[in-house]
Structure 1
Amino acid sequence: MPVSEQGGVTTWRRRTTGQSLVRWFGWLIGLAVFLYCWQQISAATTWFFVRDAPRIAGDIWSRATPPRWEYIAQLGRPIWDTLNIATLGTLISLLLAVPVAFLAANNTTPSRLFVRPIALLIIVSTRSINSLIWALLLIAIIGPGVFAGVVAIAIRSIGFCAKLLYEAIEEIDRVQVEAITATGASRWQVMAYGIVPQILPAFAGIAVFRWDINIRESTVLGLVGAGGIGLQLQSSLNVLAWPQVSLILLVILAAVVLSEWVSAKVREAII
């Protein structure tokens, strides 16, 4: 903290004059960028529709209430498909993410020069593309349906699970590994008895957390034809059946709340 004396009085300053100028210049640059971006967005926005949005929202709300409760009988299979998409996709991703994580971790990869970069590339590539994009690509390849949704969720989840898991592997207690290695254990024995027991809690937490996320993502995959309750939502939106839309949204909300409660209970049991 800089100190200056003026008239015999000591003045404490948080920053020097140069630091203050740099700070204010940074704020000025940020403000200029914000104004430029706002100008571009404003030029591409039809403000009439924005001003009219409250009236349109009120009109849709009046059309969507009350929900069409008798339609719930047709949502049993779609919501079950949605849960299956999330669950099977998560299980498949975990089976594939575990070996990728061990190949990506510094302390378990067989080659930091060749194997680890490939594993990291898999992690980055699967995480960088949204599940909806994967679903669109897979629908073009294997056709629409639940299977495309399962594969899309699985591919999207590989990078997420592998990244968190390989970070957990790199943070293990090396003393335990060294102790088991000193007994003459093989590489696989060291992994089974020295590494796996340490990462099991993290693995269980990652699995539950990702399943909870996949429940949310799988509800919208039907919008692009990948099955689940999103397909019913898209059909209702196409015919402007707003009472059905409001009911579907309530069912989705209930499913998400239930998955959140289940995942919280499982995490409490693990921790």
Structure 2
Amino acid sequence: MPYHEQNGTRVWQRRTRSESLTRWFGWLLSVAVFVYCWQQISAATTWFFVTDAPRIAGDIWDRATPPKWEYFAQLGRPIWDTLNIATLGTIIALFLAVPTAFMAARNTTPSTVFVRPIALLIIVSTRSINSLIWALLLIAIIGPGVFAGVVAIAIRSIGFCAKLLYEAIEEINEVQVEAITATGASRWQVMVYGIVPQILPAFAGIAVFRWDINIRESTVLGLVGAGGIGLQLSASLNVLAWPQVSLILIVILFAVVISEWVSAKVRGAII
């Protein structure tokens, strides 16, 4: 602990003079960067619209209330499509994520030199691009519709599921694996009886968690033409049908709350 002399008495201090100067210089640099960034943002912002935002928000609120409740009859199929997009996309992603995870884990990959880097590349590339961007690309390739949304959700989910799963594989108890290997079991038998039982709880939790996330993401894919309730939201926004927009937002909120409740119950049962 550093100290300095004051009136002949040693006074303890938390940091040395050089450490304090370095700390203050860091704060000064941070403030300077913040001021510079704020100036850049201010120069590119039309502040009239920002200051007028409360009035605009109040006007939209008046137009959007009360919701157009009779429009609910037309939202049954879109919300069903949204659930299908999330569910099918999650299932497809899990089928592809499992082998990818086993190839990425150090203790199960066939080759740490060739196979593992490819698996890690798949994980990183699918996680780094948002599902909306995947949907835009797929709509240009296979056309608009629910199928493009399913594939977009699936691709986006592969990296997420595979990353968490391969980390779970690398953290297994090797004693069980060694015990099964000592019996003369083959590589596949070791995997089935020594590794899979240990990662099943993690796999189930990852699957439910990702499905919960995909419910949220699939609600907005329709904004770019990938089907689901987002398509109805986009159509209502385009014609400024604010009572319909408010009802759609309520339905989306209700669907997300239900999926969160189901996800929490399932995870609680697993854990």
Is TM-score (shorter-chain normalized) higher than 0.5?
yes
Query: Residue in 2 aligned with 1:129?
Result: 129
Q: What whole-Å deviation, never above 9, does each CA across 1:201-253 have from its counterpart, x for those lacking one?
A: 00000000000000000000000000000000000000000000000000000
1:255 matched to 2:252? The reply is no
Separation in 1, partners of 2:19, 2:85: 54
Please, which moves more after superposition, 87-96 or 170-179?
170-179
- Percent pairwise identity: 87
Amino acid at match of 2:96: L
1:145 matched to 2:145? The reply is yes
Query: Residue in 2 aligned with 1:187?
Result: 187
Query: Residue in 1 aligned with 2:156?
Result: 156
Query: Residue in 2 aligned with 1:50?
Result: 50
C-alpha RMSD over aligned residues: 0.7
Query: Residue in 2 aligned with 1:63?
Result: 63
Query: Residue in 1 aligned with 2:228?
Result: 228
Query: Residue in 2 aligned with 1:111?
Result: 111
Separation in 2, partners of 1:10, 1:181: 65
Q: What whole-Å deviation, never above 9, does each CA across 1:74-120 have from its counterpart, x for those lacking one?
A: 00000000000000000000000000000000111111111111000
Amino acid at match of 1:227: G
Separation in 2, partners of 1:206, 1:108: 19
Query: Residue in 1 aligned with 2:89?
Result: 89
Separation in 2, partners of 1:103, 1:22: 45
Separation in 2, partners of 1:81, 1:44: 39
Amino acid at match of 1:230: G
Separation in 2, partners of 1:174, 1:121: 26
Partner SS state of residue 11, structure 1: strand
Separation in 2, partners of 1:213, 1:90: 10
Query: Residue in 1 aligned with 2:265?
Result: 265
Query: Residue in 1 aligned with 2:205?
Result: 205
Structure 2 residues not aligned, in runs of 5+: none
Amino acid at match of 1:131: S
Separation in 2, partners of 1:240, 1:107: 56
Q: What TM-score results when the alignment is normalised by the length of structure 2? A: 0.99
Query: Residue in 2 aligned with 1:40?
Result: 40
Partner SS state of residue 10, structure 1: strand
Separation in 2, partners of 1:84, 1:111: 37
Counting matched residue pairs gives 271
Partner SS state of residue 11, structure 2: strand
Partner SS state of residue 219, structure 1: helix
Separation in 2, partners of 1:64, 1:237: 11
Tell me the CA shift for residue 127 of structure 1.
Answer: 0.3
Partner SS state of residue 110, structure 1: coil
Query: Residue in 1 aligned with 2:102?
Result: 102
Tell me the CA shift for residue 6 of structure 1.
Answer: 2.6
Tell me the CA shift for residue 39 of structure 1.
Answer: 0.7
Tell me the CA shift for residue 141 of structure 1.
Answer: 0.3
Separation in 2, partners of 1:225, 1:129: 18
Tell me the CA shift for residue 35 of structure 1.
Answer: 0.9
Q: What whole-Å deviation, never above 9, does each CA across 1:104-157 have from its counterpart, x for those lacking one?
A: 001111111111110000000000000000000000000000000000000000
Q: What TM-score results when the alignment is normalised by the length of structure 1? A: 0.99
Structure 1 residues not aligned, in runs of 5+: none
Partner SS state of residue 40, structure 2: helix
Please, which moves more after superposition, 1-10 or 20-29?
1-10
Amino acid at match of 2:197: P
